[in-house]
Amino acid sequence: MESLCIIVPIFNEEEAIPEFPQAFSSYFQSSALNPTVLLVNDGSKDSSLQRIKELCASNDRFQYISLEKNSGLSAAIKAGFDVATSSYVGYIDADLQTVPNDFLKLEPFLNEFDLVLGDRSASRKDSFVKNLSSRIANNFRDFMLNDGVNDSGCPLKILKRDLAVSLPFFKGMHRFIPALVLIYGGKVKQVPVSHFPRMTGKSKFNLWNRLLSPLQDTFAVWWMSKRKISYKVAESNLPTDAKVKQ
């Protein structure tokens, strides 16, 4: 049976964690993928880790790992992908501005696509500055990478686990998962999803990490797209059960 592990990176989100069981309840009941949730504590300085442990002790749908120190969002996502053993891995932010039930909108496309992600464009409930910086970064990314994705940073994604662990990871990589999937020959599908105002905690983003840093990272991904090695084996005398990775 196909399965799904949803990665939730957590850095100082103590107020949000008690909301998780109710937030995920409807999705757990409706999903065909027998989902579990992996909470990745990214070196929180508040009581997040204690609340994570309490939640995992009371609900076996939730598991956790805790990183030695704060390593950043991309590292937390990568750690979750690496330890997951499911057929698919998902991702959602701890602030629950996107909702777990919207994973149901992504599931029908998993047989055809390697990555299915949400698109918040029509319903974003962020500040003017946050919306503007995201729009600029998305437009520049699409111009440079031609990935055709409206909302690359949407924190609602499901992708094949084998593909997820093969992607190159670096700081800020989480913004470029769709582009990297396309570079590696995968197929990507966008699905409109809901978006809500942040109800707990504080945003970890500012002008630098929402705009200037992503613009720099775009050049790095563009460079990778031009330098990627690609080949196909024409013939071989290897045993038929031997697998050649390409």
Is residue 237, in this structure, part of any structural domain at all?
no
Q: Give the CA angle between residues 23, 24, 27 to the nearest 5°.
A: 125
Between the CA of residue 61 and those of 33, 56, 167, 218, 224, what are the distances in Å? 13, 8, 27, 36, 37
Domain interval for residue 190: 4-227
Residues forming a β-bridge with 87 = none
Is residue 240, in this structure, part of any structural domain at all?
no
* pLDDT tens sequence across 150-204: 888 888 999 999 999 998 887 777 888 898 898 888 999 999 999 887 666 565 5
Is residue 238, in this structure, part of any structural domain at all?
no
Q: Are 114 and 209 in contact (CB under 8 A)?
A: no
For the segment 19-30, the average pLDDT, to the nearest whole number, is 97
Is residue 161, in this structure, part of any structural domain at all?
yes
CB neighbour class for 59 (10 Å; exposed up to 12, middle 13-18, buried from 19):
middle
Between the CA of residue 212 and those of 131, 133, 216, 217, 244, what are the distances in Å? 14, 9, 6, 9, 40
Is residue 236, in this structure, part of any structural domain at all?
no
Is residue 242, in this structure, part of any structural domain at all?
no
Q: Can you give the CATH number for the domain in which 41 is found?
A: 3.90.550.10
Task: Give the span between the Cα atoms of 60 and 82, in whole angstroms.
Answer: 20
Domain tally, the chain? 1
Q: Are 65 and 165 in contact (CB under 8 A)?
A: no
69-103: b (≥16 Cβ within 10 Å) or e: eebbbbbbbbbbbeebebbbbbbbbbbbbbbbbbb
- The 8-class DSSP code of residue 18 comes to G
Neighbour count for residue 143 (Cβ, 10 Å): 10
Is residue 61, in this structure, part of any structural domain at all?
yes
Is residue 234, in this structure, part of any structural domain at all?
no
* pLDDT tens sequence across 128-165: 555 555 666 666 666 666 777 888 888 899 999 999 99
pLDDT-based confidence at 126, cuts 50/70/90?
low
